[in-house]
Structure 1
Amino acid sequence: MQAYPGDNASHGWTQGVLAHPCQLAEIASGRISFREAGGDKRTTMPVVLLHGIGSGAASWSKQLESVGQARRIVAWDAPGYGESTPVKPCSPVASDYADVLLSWLESLEIERCVLVGHSLGAIIAGGFALAHASRLAGLLLLSPARGYGNASDAVRDGKRDSRLEMLRTLGPEGLARKRSSNMLSPTANDEARLFVQWNMSRVIPKGYEQATHLLANADLVVDISRYHGRIAVAVGADDTITPPAACEPIARAAGVALQIVPQAGHAGYIEFPDVYSSLIEAFCRTCEAW
């Protein structure tokens, strides 16, 4: 594992990442790198975790450790992240990622699951739910990004181009130094801040560029309004990237009340891992009983 600032053998996040090493799955379009826990828990519904635009599978290491005690749990590196093969289009849409997600789940012999999407991962989750609803027991969206597909051309192009220019100017490490603090609340501890910065510094430019286009092209509200399965939407009270007001239309389109996690920022599952693990596990149990 690449070290991050302050890394040492006893560091909690280091131990968590090392405990769930990266694995590779070969699929028709290439390969997907992922992390897994609870592989022997085959009597409970598996849960699949999709990270956001500046993240990766390693970000879920605390959830792998805790939720993996009760059920199989897998977290992918999205196409173009980690060692995962990028999608083919330069300017992809959610269905491009959803197709890869289906192939990956089939390679893992996961026929049905609870799908958890964070931020941009929620857009991919929404695209998958729209195309493959029968494969889902439930859909949990954490601090979901809506996307700019419903915005004017000027807004959509401006958001996309400014993010791409920042990546080209700063590179992954500079991007992480500039933007990683936005992922957490003002009260987040140093351990969480160091981990988020390390994780963001590992993004691969091509994959990040494609994900930026996905963000510009998507409208999660439209996809979610067409999905009629079990769904929940949650956001941190101190999230400044996808604040509660921005997540409310997504929850409304899903026909559910927006859950607000006190004190949490955008990457609340890193900042408050126990709280979010409990939220995920409770939603899984609800889906199993439904």
Structure 2
Amino acid sequence: METQGLASMSDGAQLRWMALGDTARQPPVVMLHGGPGLPDYLGDVAPMVADLAPVYRYDQRGTGRSPWRGRHSLARHVDDLAELLDAWEVSKAVLMGHSYGTDLASRFCLAHSDRLAGLLLMCGPFVGDWRAGDRAERERRMSAAQRERLRDLEESPRRTEEEEVELLTLAWFTDHADPGRGWRWAAQGARQRRPVNWAMNGELGTERRTDPLDEHLAELRVRLPARAELLGGVADPRPLSALESLASRLDLPLTRIEGAGHEPWLEQPDAVRAHLRRFVQAAVGT
């Protein structure tokens, strides 16, 4: 059974959270969605492990059902997670981050390593010179007409609702190994993961470039919990070599999911489920 609630942050923001499973059990799993600027979308992943440990999710401030107007910072988002753990009366948690959520989880580990019982980083964080390879692979997966249309939509000062959906679909369908199914998933996500908080995306994106996680990897390696792993889709347009390099620098195991892109639970649910369950069982001691 899923429960929901609102948690008040120290600066007055209110964050909507969801929990699946028996929340009396400790430690729980906390799933961190990506973006930045998107609401939570990990509702299909939580049931994969909720019988092993309770699973908490939340809409990051300024997204979904967590309204917020104001500036965003990585430090504030780290503080939000710490305050949420306090509100849930959780001393330690197993963090599972996806995409931008892996960056948030890593920075939380840097600040609060004592509160981690485990850390699983799915499809990120990407460090080093990976963006050129990502752009090239995305363009390869698109037709010339699709590339031109995406550029036109990105440059448009005002977009209608349908144009926004079209832009997101074009931007996201290349995340998947199968372009046909990828288009359907992207179109569905473009309508459900809304509205996109573009201001939040821009502010946190700028800060991540100004203060890249690359510069903190030596400290992160020291602070990692005993149970920490990476997972990536082999067909993610973001180069798998970037995750392989990160795994080497952090001395972490990397699980490669064949036939899957940036959201591997969609294309290879059985393989992802098996890996998540093994990881959670080891992290919580079941």
Counterpart of 1:104 in structure 2 is: 84
Does the CA contact (< 8 Å) of 1:51 and 1:121 recur in 2?
Answer: yes
Counterpart of 2:53 in structure 1 is: 71
Counterpart of 2:229 in structure 1 is: 232
1:149 CA displacement: 10
2:7 to 25, 31, 36: 25
* 2:251 maps to 1:255: yes
* 2:164 maps to 1:181: no
- For residues 112 and 166 of structure 1, do their structure 2 counterparts lie closer, same or farther at Cα, with a shift above 3 Å needed? farther
Structure 2 CA distance for aligned equivalents of residues 258 and 166 of structure 1: 37
* 2:104 maps to 1:121: no
1:144 to 121, 124, 127: 124
* 2:28 maps to 1:46: yes
Does the CA contact (< 8 Å) of 1:82 and 1:204 recur in 2?
Answer: no
CA shift digits 1:15-42 (9 cap, x unpaired) = xxxx85764222222111222201x253
CA RMSD of aligned residues (A): 3.2
Moved more, 166-175 or 248-257: 166-175
CA shift digits 1:219-244 (9 cap, x unpaired) = 3344343123231011001000x321
- For residues 224 and 66 of structure 1, do their structure 2 counterparts lie closer, same or farther at Cα, with a shift above 3 Å needed? same
Letter of the structure 2 residue corresponding to residue 37 of structure 1: L
- For residues 236 and 96 of structure 1, do their structure 2 counterparts lie closer, same or farther at Cα, with a shift above 3 Å needed? same
Moved more, 104-113 or 207-216: 207-216
Q: In percent, how many aligned pairs have the same letter?
A: 22
Extract unaligned runs of 5+ from structure 2. 132-150
- For residues 173 and 195 of structure 1, do their structure 2 counterparts lie closer, same or farther at Cα, with a shift above 3 Å needed? closer
SS of the residue corresponding to residue 45 of structure 2 reads: helix
Moved more, 213-222 or 112-121: 213-222
SS of the residue corresponding to residue 44 of structure 2 reads: helix
1:150 CA displacement: 11
Higher Cα Rg: structure 1 or 2?
A: 2
Structure 2 CA distance for aligned equivalents of residues 148 and 130 of structure 1: 19
Structure 1 CA distance for aligned equivalents of residues 189 and 178 of structure 2: 14
Does the CA contact (< 8 Å) of 1:50 and 1:118 recur in 2?
Answer: yes
Letter of the structure 1 residue corresponding to residue 84 of structure 2: W
CA shift digits 1:119-157 (9 cap, x unpaired) = 111111011000000000111101113367999xxxxxx
Structure 2 CA distance for aligned equivalents of residues 173 and 22 of structure 1: 28
- For residues 167 and 273 of structure 1, do their structure 2 counterparts lie closer, same or farther at Cα, with a shift above 3 Å needed? farther
Extract unaligned runs of 5+ from structure 1. 1-18, 152-161
2:272 to 269, 272, 276: 276
Moved more, 200-209 or 137-146: 200-209
Does the CA contact (< 8 Å) of 1:149 and 1:219 recur in 2?
Answer: no
Aligned length: 256
Counterpart of 1:4 in structure 2 is: none
1:98 CA displacement: 0.7
1:247 CA displacement: 1.2
Letter of the structure 2 residue corresponding to residue 236 of structure 1: G
SS of the residue corresponding to residue 96 of structure 1 reads: helix
Moved more, 27-36 or 117-126: 27-36
- For residues 282 and 225 of structure 1, do their structure 2 counterparts lie closer, same or farther at Cα, with a shift above 3 Å needed? farther
